[in-house]
Chain A
Amino acid sequence: MPIDIDIAKVARLARIALGEEELERYGAQLTAILEAAEQVQALPTEGVEPTSHPLPSTNAFRPDVVTASLPRVEILAAAPETEDGYFKVPRILEAP
């Protein structure tokens, strides 16, 4: 499969603002890495279950118990911009 990367779209999805030159450079590097990574397609994997996780356990739950929240002053202290107890952001173009 030839590697075909719409690098501008990938950068948009990843929310990273890159200039033309950077896009080109990263696009070329990604192509090289993916061409090498394409080896994974050489191994026959029909009928092989994917392993997403090395752990065999299940049902790691916690009881429904309330624990202390962080003081607001502490969490807002780390924020770039706040207003009236809120985190402040510039206007939002797209709804989720």
Chain B
Amino acid sequence: MSGWEAVVGIETHVELQTASKMFCGCPVVFGAEPNTTTCPVCLGLPGAMPVPNEEAIEGILRIGTALDCEIAEHSVFHRKNYFYPDLPKNYQISQYDVPICHDGSVEIDVDGDASVIGITRVHMEEDTGKSIHVGEGGRIHGAEHSLVDFNRSGVPLVEIVSEPDLRSPEQAREYGAELQRIVRALGVSDVRLEEGSMRFDANISVRRAGDVEYGTRTEVKNVNSLRSLQRAIAHEIERQIGVLESGEPVVQETRHWSEDLGATTLMRSKEESEDYRYFLEPDLVPMRVDASWQARVREALPELPAARRARYKGLGVDRRTAAVLAAAPDIADLFDAAVSAGADVRLSGIWVTGELVAYLRAGDRALDETAVEPDHLAELSAMVTGGRLSATAAKEVLGGVLDGDGSPGEVAAARDLLQITDAGAIESAVAAVIGEHADAFAKLREGDEKVLGFLVGQVMRATGGKADPRQVSELLRSKAGG
């Protein structure tokens, strides 16, 4: 794409995990039997009326505040009118010209290259139901008929609209990932892309490098993974450049990303552009978020991923570990508590982002389903730094702790993993090995370091692996150099 510049803006939809829906008391659950969590309101039955869920408003205020937005003291809901079978009222309650949060930003970092992405607005709306297309492999085109499930109808949905500030597929992916981390840190949504609780629409255009005017854009709708987001944008940029280089204009249209084809395909043209006939929702009254409510939200915000990463950097945590921690607030909280309890920063970082994450993933478990406590990590850490446990054995002990087999001390003792810390015992084992392997020891004395590993190995074997190899090699060196 040399000579070309991509301009990308992203609309991100996040379903809030409130107990009940946006405008009625039906539960917000994933995977229920079709049409079992609906009521007159979310089914759009005649006469039913919406009443907004205060917790959802609180949720969007948390998101808006975390994205450094201005919070509108007064905002209103509008009706967005369009006919679609999974939209029960055939209008969506949304926000139009007065969104509840606007003019924010988020900082992203791609391989050390930091940029600030503007957030145009963050507004509140309701989700639609779901249509299943029967026949033609579930594709809308050519399907014989469709089936509609309204369980998702009315789930609180937050739309985060970015400025067209993104310039590459990598940046777009990182932007999506950072939003996911932020929302997860706020605890307002599980942001599971695979379940659709977070999804993206990307607006993409290209222009000649140095041009000021934007090119004609296309919209790629309903992208549901970060990988797809990056690939869809990359593909669409390529496609648009190809079109322009062949002398054709880019047509403003909505496209669909097919993961299977690895390409975007035309969904519909915008010739008869949508006329949503927005008007103020007369069944609702305006929202007023005064300064004290705004302050309460701000004060209640948890530490956000960017702040965490900066703090970990200050603690000496390596970049990768810091990034993993910042993306997983529950694990990071465990890490913080362990460090506060005296655990070694480096060791705890390795354990929680390595063994712990692998353990959770393998068993598809949540952190609170394990038995690990911050004190456990502190104890384990002390055992390793004190030489009573090898780094390798520590990982095995951690596995036992996670399984609920007891504290690190108990697990290590039960599995016979404790190292010999008795100096005399190690000393005699070293002396025995020197006696057995006099030739090798002589080479060591002559400065041949290559044999050190062999000698340490012999001592480890003699002690059944329970000596601290660092202590052993120090002892061998001092005897050789002494």
Q: Which A positions have Cβ atoms within 8 angstroms of B?
A: 13, 15, 52-53, 55, 57-70, 72, 75-76, 83-92, 94-96
Query: Which of under 10, 10 to 19, 20 to 34, or 35 or more describes the interface residues of B?
Result: 35 or more
Of listed A63, A64, A83, residue having the most chain B CB within 10 A: A64
Residues of chain A contacted by B150 (CB below 8 angstroms): 87
When the two chains form their complex, are residues A65 and B33 in contact, meaning their CB atoms are under 8 A apart?
Answer: no
When the two chains form their complex, are residues A76 and B35 in contact, meaning their CB atoms are under 8 A apart?
Answer: yes
Q: How far is the CA of A70 from the CA of B24 in the complex (A)?
A: 12
Determine whether B146 belongs to the interface, using a CB cutoff of 8 Å to chain A. Answer: yes
When the two chains form their complex, are residues A91 and B146 in contact, meaning their CB atoms are under 8 A apart?
Answer: yes
When the two chains form their complex, are residues B27 and A66 in contact, meaning their CB atoms are under 8 A apart?
Answer: yes
Kindly list the 9 A-B residue pairs having the minimum CB-CB distance in the complex, ordered from nearest.
A67-B25, A64-B55, A86-B147, A61-B54, A52-B280, A58-B288, A87-B148, A96-B84, A62-B51
When the two chains form their complex, are residues B148 and A86 in contact, meaning their CB atoms are under 8 A apart?
Answer: yes
Residues of chain B contacted by A69 (CB below 8 angstroms): 26-27, 36-39
12 contacts between A and B (CB under 8 A): A58-B286, A60-B284, A63-B54, A66-B19, A67-B20, A68-B25, A68-B39, A72-B33, A75-B35, A83-B147, A88-B146, A96-B82
- The interface bits of chain B over 252-269 (1 if a CB of A lies within 8 angstroms of the residue's CB, else 0) are 001010000000000110
Q: Given A91-B142, A92-B131, 16 more contacts at CB 8 Å?
A: A53-B280, A58-B287, A61-B52, A61-B53, A70-B43, A72-B34, A75-B35, A85-B34, A85-B36, A85-B149, A86-B34, A87-B85, A89-B131, A90-B145, A92-B143, A96-B84
When the two chains form their complex, are residues A86 and B144 in contact, meaning their CB atoms are under 8 A apart?
Answer: no
Determine whether B120 belongs to the interface, using a CB cutoff of 8 Å to chain A. Answer: no
Q: Which residue of B lies closest to A76 (CB)?
A: B35
Q: Which B positions have Cβ atoms within 8 angstroms of A?
A: 18-20, 24-27, 33-40, 43, 51-57, 74, 82-87, 90, 128, 131-133, 140, 142-150, 221, 254, 256, 267-268, 275, 277, 279-280, 282, 284-288
Q: How far is the CB of B250 from chain A (nearest CB, A)?
A: 20
Residues of chain A contacted by B132 (CB below 8 angstroms): 86
Partner of A87, one of B35, B51, B144: B35
When the two chains form their complex, are residues B39 and A95 in contact, meaning their CB atoms are under 8 A apart?
Answer: no
Partner of B85, one of A13, A84, A92: A92
Residues of chain B contacted by A59 (CB below 8 angstroms): 285, 287-288
When the two chains form their complex, are residues A61 and B20 in contact, meaning their CB atoms are under 8 A apart?
Answer: no
Of listed A59, A63, A65, A67, residue having the most chain B CB within 10 A: A59
When the two chains form their complex, are residues B54 and A15 in contact, meaning their CB atoms are under 8 A apart?
Answer: no
When the two chains form their complex, are residues B147 and A88 in contact, meaning their CB atoms are under 8 A apart?
Answer: yes
Q: Which residue of B lies closest to A50 (CB)?
A: B280
Q: Which residue of B lies closest to A85 (CB)?
A: B34
When the two chains form their complex, are residues B148 and A53 in contact, meaning their CB atoms are under 8 A apart?
Answer: no
Residues of chain B contacted by A15 (CB below 8 angstroms): 83, 90
Q: How far is the CA of A78 from the CA of B387 in the complex (A)?
A: 73
When the two chains form their complex, are residues A88 and B145 in contact, meaning their CB atoms are under 8 A apart?
Answer: yes
Residues of chain B contacted by A88 (CB below 8 angstroms): 145-148
When the two chains form their complex, are residues A75 and B43 in contact, meaning their CB atoms are under 8 A apart?
Answer: yes
Q: How far is the CB of A68 from chain B (nearest CB, A)?
A: 8
Residues of chain A contacted by B85 (CB below 8 angstroms): 87, 89, 92
